[in-house]
A and B are shown apart, each in its own frame.
Chain A
Amino acid sequence: MNISLLNMPWIEPLVNIAKGEDVSRNVQTIVRTIGIPLAGILVFLMIWHAAASSIDTSLGQFPGPSDVIEQSQNLISEHIAERDKAEAFYERQEKRNAERMEKDPDYVPKIRPYTGKPTYVDQIGTSLVTVLSGFFLASLIAVPLGIVIGLSANLYSAFNPIIQIFKPVSPLAWLPLVTMVVSALYVSDDPMVPKSFVTSMITVMLCCLWPTVINTAVGVASISQDLKNVSQVLRLNYMTHVIKIVLPSSVPMMFTGLRLSLSIAWMVLIAAEMLAQNPGLGKFVWDEFQNGSSDSLGRIMVAVITIGLIGFLLDRIMLMIQRYVSWDKSATLR
């Protein structure tokens, strides 16, 4: 794998040192690329610690860095304990089934699912699945729509006001509507996915559509006249024109939009989950807030940092994909 693809500039000097090349210069590079950001984080932690100890709330002191570390350890050990319990639960069932089978060979064994409460790790998983499904759904709509309206100035003028009006709408405004519509339309005795999931996903989709639509349309509209002339001289039909000329040349702008969309999707998701009670990070924050124990604020702070880290990671992954699919490798992407 290409090192620069990961955008971790400090790996290269490490590799160089390992190879025995110009040690002092490479050490300097490492200090610059890790040392200074690390110093920034340390200063931030100190300020946070000092500020936290002087804020008293009805739920105790505002959590400082040490509380966050403590609570994250708690959350992990709770997760492990819960998993052990689940394993033991399935083990007991299997044992019981085996015993019954011995007595009565006609018995068809049943395995009941474990119904313990979702752990923090499960909630992160739910959030990721929800945000990615919402984002993919949005992309499936936004990319073709962006291409179609980018190709026609009239369609663009027709859609532009609608896009501009819906773009700034908060997820909290959509959610009640989406909830009611989903309750009305998504009726099934044995639903494949819970309603709260569908509601959150659709809210995410509605809010993160727009940057991709706009950027794709702008990318498509700004294809150079030269390339359009080539396409005309060759008499490429509409589909070939889109696939061979339009898509590749608008990939950079499209990805700018997709990255904006994904970061919006992740922000929107937390709010949507809080209200829709989709068992993800948003619900975790809400439940902890309602719970109101002395640990709650610390646990919420863990969630805040987790949300930030995952958002950052998602953007990095999108950047990697963008670098991989983009034909213009010389373009600086950040």
Chain B
Amino acid sequence: MNKMLEITGAGIEFNTPKGSFRALQNVNLKIPQGEFVSLIGHSGCGKSTVLNIVAGLLQATEGGVVLNGKEVNEPGPERAVVFQNHSLLPWLSAYENVELAVKQVFKGKKFKAEMKEWIEHNLNLVHMTHAMHKRPDEISGGMKQRVGIARALAMEPDVLLMDEPFGALDALTRAHLQDSLMEIQKDLNNTVIMITHDVDEAVLLSDRIVMMTNGPSATIGEILDVNLERPRNRIQLADDPAYNKYRQQVLSFLYEKQRKVDDVPSSSPAKKADQPAEAPSAEKNKVA
């Protein structure tokens, strides 16, 4: 049987004081082993909800997730999560943070020396060997996120779930980490699901881009296959017509088909200066 992650008919309803709120509905996605998938969409469209359902941190109201033939109903290390704000334990060093995960996952499977080697190997993958005995408050945001990735990778996950992993970082650090991530993914061939707001990031990293409609009752709007050859180089791609075409397609989905009216008040056009010419007659919301 092929290794695969399947999300079938997933929907979720939250109970709020104002009655039930349907956040997500009928999400269907099949991701074969080794594929890099990005989830993109406006804030509040339920990207994180999808990720949390796959992680097992949230339970779908209907439908569900099957990973390699097994239903997902609780969190587990085979679906490691890289959280948006790194979520390192502030009282532990980088090494100890990874160690906590390794000790938990490989308890009784690896000897002490093997564990040490494995922890150091993973910190080396993200280029953190030099600062592995520093604590989170002693290292930069980018380095924290690297440690977060190392911790997730050290669990040897089938699926790596990343919730806007580079969202809080400056552009240069982000580019650097994106390159590292591509390298790592090439070597390990993990399945990756990454949430992002960044169109360039999505096109650069992904094999497929899953674009989500606006909530409530958000679902998958369009799926874009990105057939760019790997390894990808951001500088060469900047001039690549295919790359720009993909980019344009995502932008058009986000800012024309799924334009969020309340997000872009006409009085402040400077806020989203880099977006394509304002769509004159946007089909507001709902595609599917």
Q: Chain A: residues with CB nearer than 8 A to chain B? A: 224, 226-227, 229-230, 232-236, 240, 244-245, 248-249, 327-328, 330
| Chain A nearest CB, measured from B81 CB (Å) | 5
B83 close to A235 (CB less than 8 A): no
| Chain A nearest CB, measured from B141 CB (Å) | 15
Closest to B52 in A: A229
B89 — which chain A residues lie within 8 A by C-beta?
227, 230, 244-245, 248-249
B85 close to A234 (CB less than 8 A): no
Main secondary structure of the interface of B (DSSP, over half): loop
A236 — which chain B residues lie within 8 A by C-beta?
104
A230 close to B77 (CB less than 8 A): no
Indicate if B228 sits at the interface (CB-CB under 8 A): no
B100 close to A234 (CB less than 8 A): yes
A235 — which chain B residues lie within 8 A by C-beta?
74-77, 104
Main secondary structure of the interface of A (DSSP, over half): helix
Q: Is the interface on chain B under 10, 10 to 19, 20 to 34, or 35 or more residues?
A: 20 to 34
Known: A236-B104, A248-B91. A229 touches B75 (CB 8 A): yes
The 9 closest A-B pairs by CB, nearest first: A327-B91, A226-B87, A232-B75, A248-B91, A233-B75, A234-B104, A230-B87, A233-B81, A226-B83
Please pick, from A234, A249, A330, the residue contacting B101 in the complex, using a CB distance under 8 A.
A234
The proximity string for B residues 32-45 relative to A, scoring 1 for CB distances below 8 Å and 0 otherwise, is 00000000000000
Please pick, from B79, B83, B91, B137, the residue contacting A230 in the complex, using a CB distance under 8 A.
B83
Closest to A224 in B: B87
Closest to A244 in B: B100
In angstroms, Cα B87 to Cα A224, docked, is 9
B79 close to A233 (CB less than 8 A): yes
B85 — which chain A residues lie within 8 A by C-beta?
226
A327 — which chain B residues lie within 8 A by C-beta?
90-91, 135
A233 close to B77 (CB less than 8 A): yes
Instruction: Supply 7 A–B pairs (Cβ within 8 Å), ascending by A.
Output: A229-B83, A230-B87, A232-B56, A232-B74, A234-B77, A234-B104, A235-B104
Indicate if B80 sits at the interface (CB-CB under 8 A): yes
A234 — which chain B residues lie within 8 A by C-beta?
77, 100-101, 104-105, 155
Indicate if B143 sits at the interface (CB-CB under 8 A): no
A233 close to B91 (CB less than 8 A): no
Indicate if B287 sits at the interface (CB-CB under 8 A): no
* Chain B stretch 66-84: residues in CB contact (< 8 A) with chain A: 74-77, 79-81, 83
| Chain B nearest CB, measured from A26 CB (Å) | 30
Known: A226-B85, A240-B104. A233 touches B76 (CB 8 A): yes
In angstroms, Cα B55 to Cα A226, docked, is 13
B57 close to A229 (CB less than 8 A): yes
Known: A244-B100, A328-B90. A229 touches B81 (CB 8 A): yes
| Chain B nearest CB, measured from A153 CB (Å) | 16
B104 close to A229 (CB less than 8 A): no
